[in-house]
Chain A
Amino acid sequence: DQQVKQNSPSLSVQEGRISILNCDYTNSMFDYFLWYKKYPAEGPTFLISISSIKDKNEDGRFTVFLNKSAKHLSLHIVPSQPGDSAVYFCAASPTSYNQGGKLIFGQGTELSVKP
């Protein structure tokens, strides 16, 4: 039972345009959501996060949107750059930020930004 789903295995975008990566979840008890970025042969690195009490969080070129009623979140990258080409994982946790703990990851979306 996949509690966090990324239905698009891959996405190709032109440099300078917007990249939108999507993620759906099934567990309404999830309290905190994160996006990780992964390059080949490296571990995932934290990108941006959002608490369930917010609907938007922005950090430079990266914005995460949360729609709790639809159990959907998305990551927007504007403008996209070739260095953004990587696999992006959505992750969720049922515990509050301060408690930490395990994360449940989606399957990942491979983003390719073409010059």
Chain B
Amino acid sequence: GAGVSQSPRYKVAKRGQDVALRCDPISGHVSLFWYQQALGQGPEFLTYFQNEAQLDKSGLPSDRFFAERPEGSVSTLKIQRTQQEDSAVYLCASSFGGGYGYTFGSGTRLTVV
């Protein structure tokens, strides 16, 4: 597609439920990033893939968070046993290679109740 596509746009989860957030990057983009944006804050880095390799996962806040990109294209961010503090907008971004020419998706707004 023309842009980075994220689904679902909105997700309401009950506390303790597992969720999976999907990111379809721009075709051919090698690098893929996940960021978490809490209300009133800037995006915070979660993890980074180059093709299927997860090169940096230093931003994942706990072992409840897991990301994968098995074929080097679509990526899924999974959150197990969701907590209220996980409520945020989850942004995915992709780029062709090095550099900072990120294209962000519109994000998935997760609300944990």
**Residues of A participating in the B interface, judged by any CB pair closer than 8 Å:** 4, 6, 9, 32, 34, 41-46, 49, 89, 91, 93, 97-108
Chain A interface SS verdict (over half): loop
Indicate whether B45 reaches chain A with its CB closer than 8 angstroms: yes
Contact indicator B106/A108 (Cβ below 8 Å):
no
Chain B interface SS verdict (over half): loop
Q: Number of B residues whose C-beta is below 8 Å from A?
A: 27
Cβ 8 A contact of B45, one of A32, A104, A108 = A104
A residues less than 8 Å from B107 (CB atoms): 43
Contact indicator B98/A43 (Cβ below 8 Å):
no
* Given the contacts A102-B33, A105-B43, A107-B41, A46 and B48 also touching, CB distance less than 8 Å: no
B residues less than 8 Å from A97 (CB atoms): 98-100
Q: Choose the segment among B11-19, B62-70, B75-83, B89-97 that binds chain A (4+ C-beta atoms closer than 8 Å).
A: B89-97
Cα A49 to Cα B99 in complex, Å, equals 11
